[in-house]
Structure 1
Amino acid sequence: MTSLRSFIRSVRSTKTIAEERAAIRKESAKIRTSFRDPHLDESHRRKNIQKLLYLYILGEPTYFGQVECLKLLVSPSFSNKRLGYMAAMLILDENQEILTLLTNSLDNDLKSPNQYIAGLALSTLGNIASPELAKDLYANVESLLNTSSPYLRKKATIVAAKLVKKEPDLAEVFIEKIPSLLKERSHGTLLGTLQLMREIFLQDESSHDILRKLVPGVLAHLRFLATTGFSPEYDVKGVPDPFLYVSLLQTLRYLLEGDESNPNLEALDDLLTQICARLENSKGPGHAVLYEAVMTIFAVNSDSSLRVMGVGILSKFLSLKDNNTRYVALNTLLSVISHEPVAVQRHRAMIVGCLQDADVSIRRRALELTFAIMNQQNIRMLTKELVQFLAATSSSDDELKTYITTQLTLACYKYSPGIDWTFDTLIRMLEIAGNFFSDDIISSILALMMQNRDAELTKKAVRQLLNASKVAYSQFGLAIVTIWSLGEYGDLVLDSQKVTEASEVDVLNTFLELSTFDETSKRDQIRLYSLTAALKLSSRFKSSREVERLRKLIDSSKEDTNLEVQIRAIEYTEIFGEPRSIKKGLLERMPPPPRKEHEGAALFGRSTAQKSVSEPAKTGDLLLDLFDNDDSQADESKPAEKETTLDILSDIFGTTGDNEKTAAGKKVTGNTDILNLLSGSSPSAAPSAAVIPPTTRSIPMAEPPASLPTPIPAYNDSTISVGFVPGHVGNGEATLTGVVKNETSSSTVRGISILCAVTKHQELELSAITKNTLAPGAVATLGIKITGKEGSKVKLRIKVGYEIGGENVGQQFDFSGITERL
Structure 2
Amino acid sequence: MFEKTLQDLVKGIRAHKRDPSAFISQSIAEIKLELRSVDPFIKAQAVRKLTYLQMIGYDMSWAAFSVIEVMTSARFGHKRVGYLAANQTFTEETDVILLTTNHLKKEFNSGNQYDIGLAINCLANIATPDLSRDLLGDVSALLTHQRSYVRKKALLVMYKLFINYPQGLRLCFDRIRDRLDDTDSGVVSCAVNIICELADKNPRNYLALAPRFFRLLTTSSNNWMLIKVVKLLGSLVPEEPRLARKLLEPLATIIQNTAAKSLLYECIHTVTLALPFTKKEDGSESRAVPVVVKLCADNLRNFIQDPDQNLKYLGLVGYVNLMQSHPRAVAESRELVLACLTDDDVTIRTRALELLTGMVTKRTLEELVVQLLKHVVAAEGAYREDLIAKIVLMCSRDKYAFLVDFQWYTGALVELARMDHGCRSAATGALLASQLIDVALRVESVRAFAVEAMAGLLLESMGGSSVNLNSNLTEVLLAAAWIVGEYGAHVGKIRGVRGGSGVDSGWAR
TM-score, structure 1 normalization: 0.52
SS in 2 for 1:435: coil
Paired residues of 2:312 and 2:348 also in contact (CA < 8 A): yes
Alignment partner, residue 27 of structure 1: 24
Q: Is the 8 A contact 2:218 2:250 kept in 1?
A: yes
Asked whether the 8 Å contact 2:454–2:483 carries over to 1, the reply is no
SS of the residue corresponding to residue 145 of structure 1 reads helix
2:470 counterpart of 1:478: no
Shift of 1:189: 0.4
CA deviations over 1:207-239 (Å, ceiling 9, x no partner): 435433xx2x333333233xxxxxxxxxxxxxx
Cα offsets for 1:479-513 (capped at 9, x unmatched): 4323552465287279897669xx9xxxxxxxxxx
CA drift of 1:375 comes to 3.6
Q: Select the structure that is richer in helix.
A: 2
**1:426 maps to which of 389, 405, 413:** 413
Per-residue CA deviation, residues 594-631 of structure 1 (Å, 9 max, x unaligned), is xxxxxxxxxxxxxxxxxxxxxxxxxxxxxxxxxxxxxx
1:250 counterpart residue number: 231
Query: In the superposition, relative to structure 1, how do residues 202 and 73 fare at CA in structure 2: closer, same or farther (>3 Å)?
Result: same
Once residues 77 and 492 of structure 2 are traced to their aligned partners in structure 1, the CA distance between those partners, rounded to angstroms, is 89
- Superposed, 1:404-423 pairs within 5 Å as 404-414=387-397, 415-423=402-410
Tell me how far apart the structure 2 counterparts of residues 327 and 468 of structure 1 sit (CA, whole Å): 43
Task: State the partner residue of 2:314.
Answer: 328
Displacement of 1:40 in angstroms is 5.9
* 1:475 Cα offset (Å): 4.2
Cα 1:441/1:67, change in 2 over 3 Å = farther
* Native 8 Å contact 1:69 1:88 kept in 2: yes
Per the alignment, residue 293 of structure 1 pairs with: 267
- 1:465 corresponds to which residue? 457
Indicate if the aligned counterparts of 2:273 and 2:321 stay in contact, CA closer than 8 A: no
Q: 1:48 to 1:463 in 2, by over 3 A?
A: farther
Aligned pair partner of 1:374 in 337, 360, 371: 360
Q: Report deviation, 1:318.
A: 0.9
User: C-alpha offsets along residues 6-51 of structure 1, whole Å, 9 cap, x if unaligned?
Assistant: 3333444555xxx2xx315632552255236533633333333333
In 1, the alpha carbon distance for the partners of 2:175 and 2:339 equals: 51
Q: 2:97, 2:430 → 1: CA distance? A: 55
Q: What one-letter code is carried by the residue in structure 2 that aligns with 1:417?
A: V
* Cα offset, 1:145, TM superposition: 0.7
Instruction: State whether structure 2 residue 304 is matched by structure 1 residue 318.
Output: yes
| Structure 1, 371-380 or 200-209: larger mean CA deviation | 200-209
Distance 2:28 2:473 in 1: 68
Contact 1:352-1:366 at 8 Å conserved across structures? yes
Residue in structure 2 matched with residue 392 of structure 1 by the alignment: 378
> What is the identity, as a one-letter code, of the residue corresponding to 2:338?
V
Question: Match of 2:36, SS?
Answer: coil
Preserved CA contact (<8 Å) 1:129 1:163: yes
Q: Is the 8 A contact 1:465 1:478 kept in 2?
A: no
Distance 1:431 1:96 in 2: 66
Kindly indicate whether the alpha-carbon contact (under 8 Å) linking 1:442 and 1:481 is maintained by their aligned counterparts in 2: yes
Could you tell me which amino acid in structure 2 is paired with residue 328 of structure 1? L
Q: Which amino acid aligns with 1:448?
A: D
Deviation of 1:317 after TM superposition, in Å, equals 1.0
Q: CA deviation at 1:287?
A: 0.7
Q: Where does residue 448 of structure 1 map in the other structure? A: 438
Q: Distance in 2 between matches of 1:84 and 1:114?
A: 18
Identical-residue share of aligned pairs (%) = 22
Match 2:215 to one of 215, 220, 243: 220
Secondary structure of residue in 2 paired with 1:434: coil
Q: Which amino acid aligns with 2:265?
A: Y
Contact 1:165 1:203 (C-alpha < 8 Å) held by counterparts: no
| Partner Cα separation in structure 1 for residue 299 and residue 139 of structure 2 | 42
Given the superposition, is the C-alpha separation of residues 323 and 202 from structure 1 closer, same or farther in structure 2, using an over 3 Å criterion? closer
Query: Which residue does the alignment assign to 1:352?
Result: 338
SS at match of 2:144: coil
Give the 3 Å change call, closer, same or farther, for CA 300–410 of structure 1 in structure 2: closer
The equivalent residue for 1:362 is 348
Structure 1 residues 196 and 413, CA gap change in structure 2 (3 angstroms): closer
Q: 3-state SS of the aligned residue for 1:190? A: helix
CA distance in 2, matches of 1:208, 1:445: 49
Equivalent residues of 1:168, 1:203 under 8 A apart? no
Q: What is the aligned partner in structure 1 of residue 122 from structure 2?
A: 124
1:443 Cα deviation after fit: 4.4
Query: In the superposition, relative to structure 1, how do residues 437 and 320 fare at CA in structure 2: closer, same or farther (>3 Å)?
Result: farther
> In the superposition, relative to structure 1, how do residues 337 and 89 fare at CA in structure 2: closer, same or farther (>3 Å)?
farther
Q: 2: CA distance between counterparts of 1:386 and 1:250?
A: 36
Instruction: Please identify the structure whose Cα radius of gyration is greater.
Output: 1
TM-aligned CA distance change 1:476 to 1:384, over 3 Å: farther
Partner amino acid, structure 2, of 1:401: R
Offset of residue 67 of structure 1 = 3.2
CA contact (8 A) 2:456 2:497 kept: no
Give the gaps of 5 or more residues in structure 2: 279-288, 501-509
* SS state at 2:423 partner: helix
Structure 1 pair 378–54 and aligned structure 2 pair: CA distance change class (3 A): farther
Question: Do 2:37 and 2:43's aligned partners in 1 also have CA atoms closer than 8 Å?
Answer: no
| Total equivalences in the alignment | 469
Distance 1:59 1:416 in 2: 63
Instruction: Tell me what 1:39 maps to.
Output: 37
Which of 435, 438, 450 is the aligned partner of 2:424? 435
Counterpart AA for 1:135: R
Equivalent residue number for residue 325 of structure 2: 339
**Secondary structure, counterpart of 1:321 in structure 2:** coil
Q: Mapping of 1:190-205 within 5 angstroms? A: 190-202=188-200
For residues 263 and 203 of structure 2, the distance between their equivalents in structure 1, rounded to whole angstroms, comes to: 28
Q: Which residue of 2 aligns with 1:87?
A: 85
**Alignment partner, residue 633 of structure 1:** none
* Equivalent residue runs for 1:256-267 within 5 Å: 256-262=237-243, 266-267=245-246
CA displacement 1:318-350 (0-9 Å, x = unmatched): 111111222223233334432222222222222
Change (3 A) 1:68 1:355: farther
Give the aligned partner of residue 252 of structure 2: 273
Counterpart amino acid of 1:148? Q
If each structure's strand is expressed as a fraction of its own residues, which one has the higher value? Answer: 1
Q: CA contact under 8 A between 2:68 and 2:82: conserved in structure 1?
A: yes
Deviations 1:623-682 (A, max 9, x none): xxxxxxxxxxxxxxxxxxxxxxxxxxxxxxxxxxxxxxxxxxxxxxxxxxxxxxxxxxxx
Distance 1:362 1:204, change over 3 A: closer
Give secondary structure in 2 for the equivalent of 1:113: coil
Gaps of 5+ in 1: 226-239, 504-822
CA contact (8 A) 1:62 1:91 kept: yes
Tell me the TM-score normalized by structure 2: 0.82
Structure 1 residue 268: deviation in Å?
3.1
Aligned match for 2:184, one of 175, 186, 197: 186
Any conservation in 2 of the 1:473–1:479 contact (CA below 8 Å)?
no
Is the alpha carbon distance of 1:28 and 1:488 closer, same or farther for their aligned partners in structure 2, counting shifts above 3 Å? same
